[in-house]
Structure 1
Amino acid sequence: MLSLIAFTMFSCSDDDSGSNEEEGTAQVTVRMTDAPGDYDGVLIDVEDVMIRTDMDGAEDEGWESIGEVETGVYDLLELTGGVSQLLADVELPAGYLGQMRLILGNDNSIVVNGESYAMATPSAQQSGLKLNVNQDLEAGEQYSFLLDFDVEESVVQQGNGGYSLKPVIRFSAEEGASTIEGEVHPSDFRSLVKAQNASNTISAYTDANGNFTLHGVPAGTYKVTITPDVASNLPTIEENNVVVEAGSSVNLDTIFLE
């Protein structure tokens, strides 16, 4: 009888432990930033961020909202100089996270030479690109994902003078990626900062103080190019052999264009 009781108690303890693991959650944040384009403003209507954990069904099956999404209309060109927009900060059940996509609404527009134009957004584009995550979420851990919206590639000028939006988004898991940051002078105009190697291109504009941050940079060796606004009549500067290690932040010396 004592052996039976001991066995029963042990079995219940195992069951409780397994249940806690299954019910464990991971903290997940999703942020959005911008790879720049030559416009006055690019406003996109964010309606949802969806995830897919079950990859066994058809491509359009198994999608669900990540929950508690910061919906709204965001100007992508304000997300430069290291600025990013928080879209979600939620707890998700531990387990496999296969894919993610950004869902857009109809209120998308572009500002060119001070004039605003609505951007046609086909329903296929509104439903969002399928971004491969392929991440096992462990209970009690924190995960940060970055959606880098490539404005230059995403905005398409139509033959009739209008514009359409076909999102091109670079996805990165920030734990496995790094940043390159620095400061450009003079700062009374905007400069384009681009890090590039054979596999990756990451870019951002400087902010009002000349600061910049390139997010989600995979490990590798890069050429960093600083291109000042053409009206400045200043030369383009190149920083070669910038070595980026995984999970690090590389701070370049202050870059003087004069």
Structure 2
Amino acid sequence: MKILKSLSAITLVILSLIFIQCSDDNVNLTTPVKIRLTDAPAQYDKVNIDIQAIQFHSSNDDTKESGWQEMDLLNAGIYDLLEFNNGLDTLLVDQDMPSGTVSQMRLILGENNSVVIDGVPYVLDTPSAQTSGLKFQIHDDFIAGIEYELWIDFDAARSIVETGNGKYKLKPVIRTFNEATSGVISGSINPAEALPTIHAIIGLDTTSTIAEANGDFMIKGLQSGIYKLDLMPIDGYTEKEIEGIEVNNGAVTDAGTIEILAN
């Protein structure tokens, strides 16, 4: 009986040590995280955003400032959003992060934000972004050992508001997506000179882009489903709709070459 009691005690000690070791391992689990900046095109020469920091919040209580943790921003400074559209992006963060649930992220902006219109630069007023940051909801999991890639997608056309007297304000319209839970529509416009704004519509949701000078376009971060493309070209060309564009998560749907007729 004494031997059995001794063995039981030893067993409990061993199991306790294993549990403690596993708990320590779970605490130290990390997820490789990449965060990229992209943009929906706009009819401006430049939209310069001064990004100084990126932070994330892992608590469900977003009222606790202590819950915010800063990421390692690769390059702080000014980014022209219009350089990153139709499939282009730039890498902001590339680091291992503690695994777990993330509820929010935010961009902290500096003071050098501007929009350039017809060659003339205008200061963008962004008071809240310089203090509390541009917040956006994530509610996603950083799973241990599995790379997590997130795109921060500005809609520059809807984010800039003219307040009068030659003044402009940044009221950001931002969405986020990752490739595992979203799809892409790509295609080409003929003639390229039609330069249409292209709206991908599903239900009440619309995601837009503007075709490049060569006619190519790409709309990323789309939920799976059946879309309608609504093409709004410049004056001199006829509007066009295309129904039944199927989008699947993690895949690119090629809409082919879309012909736009002149008026």
In the superposition, the TM-score normalised over structure 2's length comes to 0.87
Correspondence for 1:157: 162
User: 1:89: how far off?
Assistant: 1.6
In the TM superposition, residue 37 of structure 1 has moved relative to its aligned partner by 2.1
Whole-angstrom distance in 2 between the partners of 1:203 and 1:130 = 22
> In the aligned structure 1, how far is the partner of 2:62 from the partner of 2:252?
39
Root-mean-square deviation (CA), in Å?
A: 2.1
SS, match of residue 16 in structure 2: helix
Contact 2:122-2:166 at 8 Å conserved across structures: no
Shift of 1:188: 5.0
- Matched-pair contact (CA < 8 Å) for 1:80–1:206: no
Aligned mate of 1:104, from 106, 109, 114: 109
* Deviates further, 56-65 or 67-76: 56-65
TM-score by length of 1: 0.89
Cα pair distance change 1:68/1:80, threshold 3 Å: closer
* 234, 237, 243: which one aligns with 2:246: 243
Q: What is the CA-CA distance between 1:60 and the residue it aligns to?
A: 4.2
The number of equivalent residue pairs is 255
Preserved contact between residue 194 and residue 237 of structure 2 (Cα < 8 Å): no
Matches within 5 A, 1:115-126: 115-122=120-127, 124-126=128-130
C-alpha deviation, 1:195, in angstroms: 0.5
Of residues 128, 133, 140, the one that matches 2:138 is 133
Indicate the larger mover: 150-159 or 200-209. 200-209
The offset of 1:63, in angstroms, is 1.5
Question: Counterpart amino acid of 1:234?
Answer: Y
Distance change (3 Å), C-alpha of 1:162 and 1:178 = same
- Alignment check: 8 A CA contact 1:197 1:221 kept: yes
Letter in 1 for 2:126: T
| 2:71 is aligned with 1:66 | yes
In our comparison, the structure showing a higher alpha carbon Rg is 2
Is it true that 1:223 corresponds to 2:248 in the alignment? no
CA distance in 2, matches of 1:200, 1:32: 21
Change (3 A) 1:242 1:182: same
Are the structure 2 counterparts of residues 196 and 128 from structure 1 closer, same or farther at C-alpha, using a change threshold of 3 Å? farther
SS for the counterpart of 2:197 is strand
Q: Which amino acid aligns with 2:116?
A: V
Give the gaps of 5 or more residues in structure 1.
none
SS at match of 1:193: strand
1:201-253 CA-partner distances (Å, limit 9, x unpaired)? 111222343222111101222111233343xx222232112122233321111
Contact 1:49–1:69 (CA under 8 A) maintained in structure 2: no
My pick for the range that moved more, 187-196 or 248-257, is 187-196
Where does structure 2 lack aligned partners over 5 or more consecutive residues?
1-5
Measured in 1, the distance between the counterparts of 2:246 and 2:189 equals 19
**Residue 35 of structure 1 pairs with residue 31 of structure 2:** no
1:34 is paired with a residue whose SS is strand
The answer to whether the 8 A contact 1:48-1:69 is kept is no
Q: Percent identity?
A: 35
In the other structure, the counterpart of 2:218 is 213
Contact 1:49 1:102 survives alignment (8 Å): yes
Question: 2:68 & 2:149 partners in 1: Cα distance?
Answer: 20
User: How many Å apart are 1:71 and its aligned residue?
Assistant: 2.0
